Structure 1
Amino acid sequence: MPSRREVLKGFLAGTAASLLGPYISRGATKIRIGFIPLTDCAPVVVAQELGFFKKYGVDVEVSKEASWPNVRDKLLNGELKASHTLFSLPLSVYMGISGPKGKIIPIPMTLSFNGQGITLSNKFKGKVGFRELDKVKAAIEEIKAKEGECTFAMTFPGGTHDIWLRYWLGACGVNPNRDVRVIPNPPPQMVANMKVGRMDGYCVGEPWNAVGVLEGVGFTHIASQDIWKHHPEKVLAFNWEFMRQNPEEVKAIMKAVLEAARWCDDMGNRKELAKILSQQKYVNAPVSAIESRLMGVYDLGIGKHVYKDDYMLFFKNGEVPFPRKSHAIFFLAQFRRWGMVKEPINYKAVADAIVMQDFYVKVAQEMGIPVPKDDMKPLKGFIDGVVFDPNDPEGSIKKYKVREV
């Protein structure tokens, strides 16, 4: 059997020549690409709505999925050839946290930065304000004293929302493994479950934090870009067998999504984008909830805040879609920090197995998209002031005051 390196070398060599015209798919059936109803599914939806998939010659069906476990299963079994998904989901699967250990779900491009949030229930009102981390621990202890426990929801074990929730709790001096209860919950069901008291807070992507405010179930305590400015969030991941066997189709899909991402990042298009996403077949949420946060204008439920440069981003002159191995290493280190992975990790080997950076670079070069040169440099902009060094992940873990390792 050829090694993964040999397979990659073969299909990269086979796609080296630039496409002089759109790729024409030879497939007999539509290529199904999944998405979860979240604002940051935008590049996949726009590529379909504005005809970019057709422009690049691929016959695509976009498929609304119910949950991240559903996306994981369909990417693994090939029912989905690609999907909008959490950056850390393929890493969580590969490490055996939330799927069959060693299974590859490749990431050839990032879809978005920023734009998630933590919503706290009305129990926290008057006790914790916007970004007031120093008051969170006492408020949690008060809820535990009254009710016996304090529960927070995220969307997938080892997923990005799980990591942002844990990172925030750690920065507040709270151990997510010991001091609170953390449960998974599908994104579109967060508001309804908060309404019936299933959780005291949740971490999710937009528009479900904005919808939580609109429906009066809680308030936005913090946005994910406050936790880590310009953090990676969603990716376009593929079924591994499909990517190996159909490199030209993968390239054509990526080109369509990259063109859509550039369109989505034009602030002049964002009102139209909100209308597209609000449709029942996509996000199925009020236009106002989607549009306001796309524009960086946040009604927090306890006041307002305007994000001027770190609202949800999809392109940023090529900075967003470039998949960084340093980002993969950061997520892997958080798995270690919280004891999700007990044994030492070969960080570089895992990042190399999942992040298809060379493949992305070839596509970007064919489209004339600038390729960043910042991978593997120290990561900054975290709310706790920690500088994460991807070249020394175990050393970086020791910088955290709250950790399991």
Structure 2
Amino acid sequence: MTNYIKRICSVLLLPMALLLLTSAIPVNNGEGTGNEDVIRIGFIPLTDCAPIVIAKELGLFEKYGVKVEVTKEASWANVRDKILTGELDGAHCLFSMPFSVYTGVGGKAGSEMKIAMILNNNGQAITLSNDFCGKVGFRQTNKVASVVAAKLKAEKEVTFAMTFPGGTHDIWLRYWLAAAGVSQKTSKIITIPPPQMVANMKVGNMDGYCVGEPWNGLATKQNIGFTEIATQDIWKHHPEKALVVNKAFSETRKEDLKNVMKAVLEACKWLDNRANRKKAAGIIGKPQYVNAPADVIEARLMGDYNLGCDQGTQIYTDDYMLFHRNGDTNFPRKSYGIWFMTQFVRFDYLQAAPDYKAIADKLIMQDLYLEVAKSLNVKIPADDMKPFTLTLDKVTFDPNKPDDYLKLARK
């Protein structure tokens, strides 16, 4: 009789247990709840991964109700692949990478990576090996062509490195070479992950490179190269890194994405307080993040550039690496995406002009950013799709007339 009662109880209790179990499983209604699976955000070891790292370290993701895991990635190609497959929900990413991938320059054409917001302006640089020391100085772009020509005559080729085809570092390098009058057909341009730049220059694998900090500052500290130009000298307040996300994640967990963006925006504000930058340098310099000396990170974060090659120090006062600028930094402008795509055509990555505006509309989540910014009372700039002028060559770009720009740039 006792066993019979036990069997009856088991039959009655099993449906109740199943009901309790299934009621505890979160339902994905397409908006996200903040209580679902962990959100995975990748980063490359660069100083400008700071908004992601600081949002994590200060507990800002938790403040906005999202569970975020940050992961160090090996290369930009690795970031691209993991975002496209959904292994990463998002990442600290080169602003121009989604356009490069979508147009087939740096990935399978038509692959969508979505830009949620910009993370920083400025703060990259072009480092030259000590072979150029005394021949080309800081911002002496006009002297580069003759030195490169002499080196070509002696050694057959000159090699420069960047970090991803069509990425921001690639375009800064090519733009600088063009301004210097150096034919890119005579220069070898290779791809090297950011943390490997210094080691490769040490063994003579390249004559120069373009990358983000701290890998330019570290080259000067180790006396293996010097800073020829900072990217803010090419284009003051240029877009650099962005929060880029997986397409499905942006569509099915929109509320979670908005909360991630709120946390990152707050981190950007915190980082633009100069009083916080020493602490920030100490945090992001740790082995699990950038794994570089905090003093090198801090110096360039503060705009204090030891140039190397006995050139002294350059102090940037209002155009060092910035993360917020009262909202001017973080607004993802479609005009900037159009500018980068025109460079793809200018530098022969693309043989024909893409549909610039349609691609910018597809990849930049401007409406979502506006919603988040308004909820935090962050200022919205009113300059998108208006002409802007680059610092290095004083050339004005009108995003409404990219073909006119190309006619002049390719002469």
Q: TM-score range by the shorter chain?
A: over 0.9
1:303-322 matched pairs, under 5 angstroms? 303-322=312-331
1:267 to 261, 274, 285: 274
**Which residue identity does 1:312 align to in structure 2?**
M
Residue 58 (structure 2) aligns with: 50
Q: Does 1:90 align with 2:98?
A: yes
Asked if the contact 2:35/2:67 (under 8 Å) is kept, the reply is no
Asked if the contact 1:34/1:63 (under 8 Å) is kept, the reply is yes
**Distance of 2:353 and 2:300 partners within structure 1:** 39
Runs of 4+ in 1 over 4 A off after TM superposition: none
Q: Let me know the Cα RMSD of the aligned residues.
A: 1.1
Residue 172 (structure 2) aligns with: 164
Asked if the contact 2:119/2:243 (under 8 Å) is kept, the reply is yes
**Distance of 2:337 and 2:353 partners within structure 1:** 15
**What secondary structure sits across from 1:398 in the alignment?**
helix
**What secondary structure sits across from 1:106 in the alignment?**
strand
**What secondary structure sits across from 1:44 in the alignment?**
helix
Residue 119 (structure 1) aligns with: 127
**Which residue identity does 1:61 align to in structure 2?**
E
Residue 338 (structure 1) aligns with: 347
**What secondary structure sits across from 1:127 in the alignment?**
coil
Q: Does 1:138 align with 2:137?
A: no
**What secondary structure sits across from 1:169 in the alignment?**
helix
**Which residue identity does 1:175 align to in structure 2?**
S
**Distance of 1:88 and 1:258 partners within structure 2:** 20
**Which residue identity does 1:356 align to in structure 2?**
M
**What secondary structure sits across from 1:112 in the alignment?**
coil
Residue 228 (structure 2) aligns with: 221
**Distance of 1:340 and 1:316 partners within structure 2:** 33
Asked if the contact 1:67/1:187 (under 8 Å) is kept, the reply is yes
1:222-261 matched pairs, under 5 angstroms? 222-261=229-268
**Distance of 1:46 and 1:261 partners within structure 2:** 9
**What secondary structure sits across from 1:314 in the alignment?**
coil
Asked if the contact 2:128/2:227 (under 8 Å) is kept, the reply is yes
Give the aligned length. 380
1:103-114 matched pairs, under 5 angstroms? 103-114=111-122
Q: Give TM-score scaled by structure 2 length.
A: 0.91
Per-residue deviation at 1:199? 0.2
**Distance of 1:255 and 1:79 partners within structure 2:** 22
**Distance of 2:153 and 2:313 partners within structure 1:** 31
Per-residue displacement from partner, 1:125-164 (whole Å, max 9, x unpaired)?
1100000011000010111111110000000000000000
> Any gaps of 5 or more consecutive residues in structure 2?
1-29
Residue 195 (structure 2) aligns with: 188
Q: Does 1:323 align with 2:337?
A: no
**Distance of 2:156 and 2:135 partners within structure 1:** 18
**Which residue identity does 2:116 align to in structure 1?**
P
**What secondary structure sits across from 1:129 in the alignment?**
coil
Q: Which has the larger radius of gyration?
A: 2
Residue 11 (structure 1) aligns with: none
**Which residue identity does 1:205 align to in structure 2?**
G
Asked if the contact 2:162/2:192 (under 8 Å) is kept, the reply is yes
Residue 286 (structure 2) aligns with: 279
Asked if the contact 1:364/1:371 (under 8 Å) is kept, the reply is yes
Q: Does 1:349 align with 2:358?
A: yes
Asked if the contact 1:24/1:56 (under 8 Å) is kept, the reply is no
**Distance of 1:91 and 1:344 partners within structure 2:** 13
Residue 206 (structure 2) aligns with: 199
2:186 to 179, 183, 192: 179
Residue 78 (structure 1) aligns with: 86
Asked if the contact 2:35/2:65 (under 8 Å) is kept, the reply is no
Per-residue displacement from partner, 1:164-218 (whole Å, max 9, x unpaired)?
0000000001122x12110000000000000001000000000000001111111
Per-residue deviation at 1:398? 2.1
> Any gaps of 5 or more consecutive residues in structure 1?
1-13, 16-22
Per-residue deviation at 1:394? 1.2
**Which residue identity does 1:188 align to in structure 2?**
P
